[in-house]
Every structure is written in structure tokens, then in C-alpha cells.
Structure 1
Amino acid sequence: MGILDFVVWNVSPDIISSPVNIRWYGLMFAIGFLAGTSILGRIYRHEGAPERWVGILLIWVVCATMIGARLGHVFFYEWAYYSQHPLEIFKIWEGGLASHGGTIAIIIAVLLYSLFTTRRSPIWTFDRLVIPVALVAGLIRIGNLINSEIFGTATTLPWGFMFLRSRQWHEMYYGQACHPTQLYEALCYFILFALLMWMY
């Protein structure tokens, strides 16, 4: 194979590993939530909605994202293990988040936020929240790429990635490049974010 036939991906997921561990994935989450809060704040100000509603919604969404994504991973993927080691559920820093679990929890959180805070239809909140959520989702997928996780099947396309830091890649695809599905999905989310901003 020539040098441009695939991408050798060996990026460390750690920004800093000592004395504390700071990972790119966590940074993508943080940037996403900060940017999302700023965007939502501008939307609320534009519409004359109380700005304190933004901070309250941020708390609901952050808690729902972390708890829901963790429980989604626990129940959907590794219940056999966690049912025998329940205290391990709390070790969220060791990894194991499922975005669909977070999505379910965010829906529930918005329903409660609408009931107790805005006293408006949840659709009012969802219509505005989906804009920054698309941006956050794209950033999280970039974090997945840096973590060398949730990639696709083998490919001979020149932009295929060899995920050298992935145990799954070594076990299933060693020597073969794989689709960087994280990038595909991130690109779709960023396009969706731009479209939603334009529509708004």
C-alpha cells in the first residue's frame, strides 16, 4: 500500500495524564456545553425569556446527559457485569457512556424543566435546545474519534483509519483500515447545526 492509502490513527486520548487525567473526550463535552449554553442564552435573550431559565436548563441537561448516558451503557451493554458489581456503576471516569441513554434522559429532563420552570409546552424548549445539541453531538463524536472508539467496518477507501490504540480494532480488523464513522456522524451534526441556526 502507498502512504496515502489509509490513515494511521495513534492519537493519545489524554491531554494530561499526570498528576490528574484530563482527556480530549471530556474537553469536547465541556466545550460543547459552554458553547451550547452561550447559544441558548442568546436565543432566550432574543425572545425575551428569563435568562435564569438557561442556567436551570443547563443543570437539568448536564445531569441528565451524564446519568442517562452512564445508565444507558450499564443497562444496554454490560448489565451482566454491573449487576454483579453495582458500585462500579459510579466509576464514570473509567468510561462507558451510551448516547441513546443520554437522549432518553434529556427528554425526561426537558419534560420536568417545562413542568417546573418554564410552565410552557416542552416543544417550546425542544425547538430551541436542538440547535446547540447538534453542535454538542458533533464535538462528542470528535471525542470518540480521539478515543479510537465506535468506528465502522473495514474499508479500502483512502480515508480509512487504522485505530492502533483500539483493542477492538486489533481483535477484529488488525491490518485493515476502517471507516471513521465518528467523522461521518460529526460532519452530519455540524451540517445540521448550521441548518438549524439558519432556520432559526
Structure 2
Amino acid sequence: MLLSILWDVDPEIFNIPINLWGYNGAISVRWYGLLFALGFLLGYYLVEKMFKKEGIPLEWLEKLFMYTLIATVIGARLGHVFFYGWDFYSQHPWEIIKIWHGGLASHGATIGILVALYYYSKKVSKKSMLWVLDRVAIPVALAGFFIRTGNFMNSEIIGTQTDLPWGVQFVRASIVDPLTVRHPAQLYEAFCYLASFGILMFMYWKTNAKEFSGRLIGVFFMLIFTARFFIEFIKENQEAFEEGMSLNMGQLLSIPFVLLGAYLAYNSFKKQSV
């Protein structure tokens, strides 16, 4: 008999009933939101240690945190809207702001963060954008681990069918056959992101990589999006339009980031330290 894990965890940890000013409902606390927040809080702590080590003014930190947080949420939401769900959202634009209904895309989050940090580098740090990205890459990799773990708790972004002993039956997944044994693709990604975080931490603290603009963010792009590219082969497609595509949308969006990362990492070896 095939061994498997029956995953039937409620995405909601608890809820708080609210009866106030005519409103009768509840505020729910979910695993995804908790893990998302934890990723950013730990990221804040890590960047604070990095700034202290380098003698960077800590006043820059709060703005960096807010820019990155807002850019992540807005970018991830708009990425999902434009890359995966434009047919629906173009007809129901009011649904775009209903982020609690789900629908975030990591590629969109990456683009949003790049835009926000460009503005941050010009208006706050007055340093090159690559300098900022090299330091943000480390906590973002850690946040990616927590976010994908949150996806696992939500029984979403699930893998294809497998006969491996660690296959999972996602009982609460919104699919036709929730009892099919599947790859826990979210955990595959989560562990790859955690390993990437470990590599970047080693490079920052134990080598001189931070002295060469673009090296850390280049390695980040290569590690994160190469992992994403290959894991997509064992994921269920997120949208119907991806059926029949040789490479799905996640893979097509990953390729430019892998190439950009390779360019930045290679170019950093030709530069003088900063």
C-alpha cells in the first residue's frame, strides 16, 4: 500500500468574533498571514544587524522595511492579476483589491521590490541600487521560505501526482481530486529558498562578497529562480491557459531573472570592491 501524508490542516488558526457598530463578523488569524509577518520581522532583524556591522544609519531601516513590505504585497497582487488572471480581473476590476480572496505571484513581488528599491536608493540611501539589493536579497530569501510554508498550510500551489513515500493528500485543496497523492511542491520551494538564504548568509558574513556590487543579488536570482523553474515541472498549473504550454507562466517569468542573476554575478567579478 502506498504511504502518504494526509494533510487536513485548517488554514485558520483562530478567529475573533467582532460585534461593533452594527458589524457582526469575525477577524481570522491564518497561518499564511502569521508566517508572512514572521518572515518580514526576522528580515528586519537581519538587516538591522547588517546595517550595524557596516555603520549604516538605522534611520534608513524603517523606510527600507516599509518600502519592501508595501512593494511585496502590491507587486505580488498585481503580478497575479496581470500574469495569471487578467481575463477575470479585466472584467471584475473591483476584485483586484480583495487580496484576502487569495492570488499572489512571487514574480510580481520581485518586480515590485525592484521598483521600490530603485526609488529607495535614489531618495533615501543615495547608494547604488545594487548596493541596496545585495543586502535585501538575504532577508527576502528567508521570507520566501516562510511564504511557501504558508502556501503549504493553505493547501495551495500543490504538486502533481507522485508515488513517493512523502507524497501528500491535500484534503482541503480546491481541486477535483483532493485525495490524489501529490508532491508537496510548496515545501520543495521552501527548502530551496532556505538553502539559498543559508548560502547568501555565508557569503555576506564569511566572505568579501558584499564588497562587490551585484554579487549577492546575482546569486540570489540564480538560486531562487532556477529552483522555481525546475519545481514548476512538478506543480499543477495555476491557471487554465497554461494547459498545453511547454513551459508554464512561472517558468517563462523565471528565465529573465536567472539570466539577469548570471550577468550580475559574472559582472561583479570584473569590478573593484565598493
Where does residue 167 of structure 2 map in the other structure?
160
C-alpha distance in 2 between matches for 1:55 and 1:174: 43
Where does residue 13 of structure 1 map in the other structure?
11
| Unpaired segments ≥5 residues, structure 1 | none
Where does residue 179 of structure 1 map in the other structure?
183
> What SS is found at the alignment partner of 2:181?
coil
Q: Which among 198, 206, 214 is matched to residue 194 of structure 1?
A: 198
> What SS is found at the alignment partner of 1:17?
strand
One-letter amino acid of the structure 1 residue matched with residue 180 of structure 2: Q
C-alpha distance in 2 between matches for 1:192 and 1:14: 29
Range with greater deviation from structure 2 (76-85 or 60-69): 76-85
Where does residue 33 of structure 1 map in the other structure?
40
Identity across aligned pairs (percent)?
A: 51
C-alpha distance in 2 between matches for 1:6 and 1:42: 42
One-letter amino acid of the structure 2 residue matched with residue 28 of structure 1: L
Higher RCO (CA 8 Å, separation ≥ 6 residues): 1
C-alpha distance in 2 between matches for 1:167 and 1:105: 28
One-letter amino acid of the structure 2 residue matched with residue 157 of structure 1: L
* TM-score normalized by the length of structure 1: 0.94
Contact 2:170 2:179 in 1 (8 A): no
- Is the counterpart of residue 135 in structure 1 residue 142 in structure 2? yes
Where does residue 75 of structure 2 map in the other structure?
68
* Deviation sequence 1:131-154 (CA, Å, 0-9, x none): 111110001010000000111110
**Cα drift, residue 174 of structure 1:** 4.4
| Unpaired segments ≥5 residues, structure 2 | 18-26, 205-274
The alignment covers a number of residue pairs equal to 195
One-letter amino acid of the structure 2 residue matched with residue 181 of structure 1: A
C-alpha distance in 1 between matches for 2:29 and 2:180: 30
C-alpha distance in 1 between matches for 2:4 and 2:109: 33
One-letter amino acid of the structure 1 residue matched with residue 12 of structure 2: D
C-alpha distance in 2 between matches for 1:197 and 1:78: 36
Runs of 4+ in 1 over 6 A off after TM superposition: none
Question: Whose radius of gyration is greater, 1 or 2?
Answer: 2
* TM-score normalized by the length of structure 2: 0.69
- Is the counterpart of residue 103 in structure 1 residue 110 in structure 2? yes
- Is the counterpart of residue 59 in structure 1 residue 66 in structure 2? yes
Distance 1:18 1:40, change over 3 A: same
One-letter amino acid of the structure 2 residue matched with residue 143 of structure 1: G
> What SS is found at the alignment partner of 1:11?
coil
C-alpha distance in 2 between matches for 1:80 and 1:131: 35
* Deviation sequence 1:53-97 (CA, Å, 0-9, x none): 111111111110110111111111211221122111111111111
Contact 2:172 2:178 in 1 (8 A): no
